[in-house]
Amino acid sequence: MRGDDLSLPPVSARAAIVHDWLPLIGGAERVLADMVRVCPNSEIFTTFDFLTDAERAEVSLGVPVHASGLNRLPMVQRYYRNLLMGCTRAVEAFDVTGHDVVLSSSAAFAKGVITSPEQVHIGYVHSPARYAWDLSHAYIGAMGGIAAPLKRAIARRMMHRFRMWDARTAAGVDTFVANSAFIAKRIKKVYRREAVVIHPPVDTSAFTMGDTREDVYVTASRMVPYKSIPMIVAAFAERPHLKLRVLGDGPDMAEVRRLAGPNVEICGYVDADRMRAEMQRAKAFVFAAKEDFGIVPVEAQACGTPVICLDAGGTAETVRPLGESAPTGVWFSEQTREALLAAVDTFEAEGHVIRAEDCRANALQFSAERFREELRGLIYEVAGV
């Protein structure tokens, strides 16, 4: 059933929800599903849709999903990420003129949809495209292999074109919404616009407190460079009396295995039930990424589990450190073994003051119900529908 029974009713106006793409179900797609719950009389527009029928139903809740013409290109799943400028043109080709409200769900180009003066366009930004703005040099510099200099030259030219398009299309958004105060600062820097902060929905009802705790730290993530899983594993190798359990898989797996000592258990990919069970039993959850928001640390807190995390990005907004009232974790300031180890040592010495009930209560501030209520309120406020 779409919608729910909070103080504001679902938005009855016709809404166009424009989403970057649908290659799989992740955090942005869960935001999309809750946008549909807020606006049940809606249609979804997206550049690519590679979901199965069951996955699509989970995200769309039965509303129509319209993919761009790019979706019909041969074997496009293999190279769709290379079609950045094609995606900008595909988004501009979406005809949303028959809708009263336009919501864009954007980490790249969805906010570039063209709207009329009579339509209200609310742009929910997961992040301005990192690979085009502040992390552009890092992304391009990491390109290697055959003809690397040529690939970097092409990428620099493409990113220059994309940045001009991205900056120009910001003017078409009436109200920007950021998924965290951290992203609101990036929106201000890139687009010179203020943004309302509405944190993304976390399914706190699915992550609940368990009955037992193990003397084991847990980390869970896709093993990609910015998640810093090898750094976490290397740090625990220097504390052989502490146990660490690592959940997830990805390009950094070989490095993780190389660095792991006998006190580190590498589990690989696990399903949602195993993930939840591990969080419920964990002594603490370790998270070293600088995330735009970071849903997994909130899920851990919903299980009553303290979080050891970076004091930057989204976790600076979702985890209360030792020293504050009702703390839920320990912060560290640098993505280094030394800083993480200092935080782990602090947790070993002082973490007993962190209460599972406080972790759970803090996580409930980021529930899906709260997200829907805040988004409804904003739509009623700025669109009058």
pLDDT of residue 26: 84
pLDDT tens readout for residues 177-202: 999 999 999 999 999 999 999 999 99
Residues 40 and 143 in one domain: yes
Q: What is the pLDDT of residue 314?
A: 93
pLDDT at 141 over 90: no
The stretch 220-229 carries a mean pLDDT of 89
- The pLDDT of residue 381 is 94
Q: Are 21 and 35 within one domain?
A: yes
Q: What is the mean pLDDT of the chain?
A: 93
pTM of the predicted protein model: 0.87
Instruction: Categorize the per-residue pLDDT at 2 as very low, low, confident or very high, splitting at 50, 70 and 90.
Output: very low
Q: CB of 266 within 8 A of CB of 256?
A: yes
Domains of the chain: total: 2
Same domain, 46 and 137: yes
Q: Do 186 and 225 lie in a common domain?
A: no
pLDDT at 118: 92
Convert the pLDDT of each residue in 343-366 to its tens digit: 999 999 999 999 999 999 999 999
**Per-residue pLDDT at 327 exceeds 50:** yes
Residue-wise pLDDT for 17-61, tens only, equals 999 999 988 889 999 999 999 999 999 999 999 999 999 999 999
Instruction: Please compute the mean of the pLDDT values over residues 358-383 and round it to a whole number.
Output: 95
Question: What's the pLDDT score for residue 222?
Answer: 86
pLDDT at 302: 97
Q: Can you give the residue range of the structural domain that contains 314?
A: 216-365
Q: What is the pLDDT of residue 132?
A: 79
The CATH number of whichever domain residue 71 belongs to comes to: 3.40.50
Residue 4's pLDDT band (boundaries 50, 70, 90)? very low
| Residues 299 and 349 both lie in one domain | yes
Q: Judge whether 210 lies within some domain.
A: no
Same domain, yes or no, for 259 and 146?
Answer: no
pLDDT digits (tens, 9 = 90+) for 62-92: 999 999 999 999 999 999 988 999 999 999 9
302/379 same-domain check: no
